[in-house]
Amino acid sequence: MAKDRPKRPHGQVRRSQIVTTFGPGAMVDLPNHSILISGLDQWTGVTEEILEPRLLEKLKEHLQLENLRMFAPPRDSGDAFSSASGVVGWQFPEWFVTQNVRQSTSKSGHQVRSRQLVHRTSLSRGKFIGDDRKRQNVVPVRFVRACRHGHIGDIDWYAFVHKDGSNCRAHLWMDDVGTSGDITEIQVRCECGQSRLLSEAVETGGHHKAGALGLCDGSQPWLGPFANTRCEQPSRFLIRTASNAYFPQKLAVISLPPRNEAVAKAVEQAWMFLEVAESVDDVRRERKKDRVAKALEGISNEEVWMEIERRRNPSAESSSRLKPDELKTLIACDQERGDDHPGDDFFARVLPRPVWDAPWMASIEQVVLVHRLREVVAQAGFTRFESATTNVEGELEIGVQPALLAREITWVPAIENRGEGIFIQFKSEALNEWAMQSAVQSYGTSLLAGFEVWKSEHKGSRREFPPLPYYMLHSLSHMLITSISLECGYPASSIRERIYAFDDVGYGILLYTGSPDSEGTLGGLVQEGRRIHEHMRQALTNAELCSNDPVCSQHQPDNLHERRFLHGAACHGCLLIAETSCEQQNDYLDRALVVPTVENLGVEFFRMDP
């Protein structure tokens, strides 16, 4: 494996893209190179630590590590020739295809375009010198092998072509007998006379059985040379630029103000005296000092001691639930919550009911305008072929074996986004009564049937079927994102969602936007929150009819032909949005649970007047 250490960088990506798209193990096409982003061990200039105790404790629990920190990806040093900071790229793949094309005619009369398949060791200064002694440009081959555990490597092209196990090392060619570039029209040919269709590489022998590409050798080239591990998965054919080549396993939280802000601020003011306290008695003694007594006025010694313990041991909150805790904070917004100062993490105001009250808003408890919020996103690992989503509580799916970010993980990459949002709280009794209706329960069995078919094809997944209120709120959220984006000034792809559906806490939708700079706090989303009743009406009206109806509304989740097992009445014409916006990657959607459709099933939550 050739390590790419140039005198100057080959390209740049945004820091946020490192966590969300181009993290360790991701394949990146640069102008003149194709690389794998290196493991965390080879990143330089990583100095900016990100603090978020709730997220950090969940990551420790998931990765089973006692000591872990979060750091932002390195910044650009500003010097094109400096290597003081940056992310290393390992050259991958190591097989290339020449750009000189040989034209010929096959026995069947088809035109064949042939390009030579060459290894990195055959190149000279990035060019291939053929038998005619002319220098030829090359590009990385499009096809590699990988496994479900994230391991990746070059296809052994000699072994693939010579099925008889021959040691032949004659020249290899890729023959394209069509015009589409489809693998069914490409064959790999050796000059010894043997050839094989590339489409045969897609065939596998099933779970733990070797197919055309053999068993995975556990190669982890992003971690450096000889970074192999034991693996018994079959190698699978992978197109290098395919969308399923890399799925970062991310965990995100919204930073919350302290549960008791008054106590936290008071302890902060007197911390230079209280940091030596070992018990409530010590707090009582320190309180005899005038400065401490003034700071702690009106606060009991027990409350002060609890806050001291919380500050010293953030892991005491590790048993907290990420999204339910956020919901509690948003619900508890009594007029105002947090501080409205530049740089503060959270500030929200309740929108007075007369501003948004309307007949179709009868099931809404309150609307909260979140003027400031801070989102922290960290990467815990990555997968290939199939994404690992978070569950309805916002925590990482258990039972998933992600690929490693480093040989020894001591920190994970993270970013913080600042932005604004709109929170809509629903009346719990209204949603619970709707979910218990016999028609809704009966319809839910059809959604469950689709989920069971999906589960039978993804035996390694530990996903659980979400409750019907989650289905409904998730679908409504997509409708609102589409409606609001038309007027708020943010593109729909930059508005994200967090769905809260917990019968023991409450129900709600948070639509928010955020970015590493100030662009996420321009105020457009909050301003449209004052017209949330108008957007709600528009969203519900538009969702009643889809451009693909009646096909869309008549879809059955367990239909083996359509293969949309996690959808009810949902398609690209109505509910599907950018996957950057959706917390479930466009799964668990059905507008029939929100509004009446042409099928008129009678299971809708909102029943609009004609």
SS3 content of the chain, % helix, strand, coil (to 5): 30, 25, 45
Flag whether 289 is in a domain.
yes
- Last residue in a domain, options 262, 282, 317: 317
- Are residues 171 and 209 located together in one domain of the fold? yes
The mean of the pLDDT values for the chain is 84
Query: What is 153-204 written as a DSSP string?
Result: E---HHHHH-TT-------EEEEE-SSS--GGGEEEEETTS-EEEGGGGG--
Flag whether 222 is in a domain.
yes
8 secondary structure, DSSP code = S
- Are residues 102 and 214 located together in one domain of the fold? yes
- Are residues 114 and 164 located together in one domain of the fold? yes
Flag whether 600 is in a domain.
no
Number of domains in the chain: 2
- Are residues 225 and 267 located together in one domain of the fold? no
The pTM of this model reads 0.80
- Last residue in a domain, options 317, 340, 366: 317
Query: Is 575 in contact with 524 (CB distance < 8 Å)?
Result: no
Flag whether 434 is in a domain.
no
Q: Alpha-carbon Rg of the chain, whole angstroms?
A: 28
322 secondary structure, DSSP code = H
Flag whether 41 is in a domain.
no
- Are residues 100 and 227 located together in one domain of the fold? yes
- Are residues 231 and 169 located together in one domain of the fold? yes
- Are residues 197 and 229 located together in one domain of the fold? yes
- Are residues 220 and 287 located together in one domain of the fold? no
Flag whether 500 is in a domain.
no
- Last residue in a domain, options 207, 239, 271: 239
Q: What is the pLDDT of residue 286?
A: 87
Q: What is the pLDDT of residue 1?
A: 46
- Are residues 221 and 156 located together in one domain of the fold? yes
Residues 221-256: tens digit of each pLDDT: 999 888 888 888 888 999 888 888 898 988 899 887
Domain that includes residue 303, residue range: 253-317
Instruction: Compute the C-alpha angle 106/211/119, nearest 5°.
Output: 60
C-alpha dihedral sign at 31, 402, 225, 168: negative
- Are residues 170 and 294 located together in one domain of the fold? no
- Are residues 220 and 262 located together in one domain of the fold? no
C-alpha span between 449 and 555 (Å, rounded): 13
Residues 445-473: tens digit of each pLDDT: 999 999 999 988 887 677 889 999 999 99
- Are residues 119 and 189 located together in one domain of the fold? yes
Q: Buried (b) or exposed (e) across 90-115, using 16+ Cβ within 10 A?
A: bbbbbbbbbebeeeeeeeeeeebebb
Q: Which residue has the higher pLDDT, 63 or 264?
A: 63
Flag whether 185 is in a domain.
yes
Of 96, 18, 399, 403, give the one whose Cα is nearest residue 219.
403
pLDDT at residue 547 greater than cutoff 50: yes
pLDDT at residue 172 greater than cutoff 70: yes
Flag whether 597 is in a domain.
no
568 secondary structure, DSSP code = S
Residues 364-384: tens digit of each pLDDT: 999 999 988 889 999 989 988
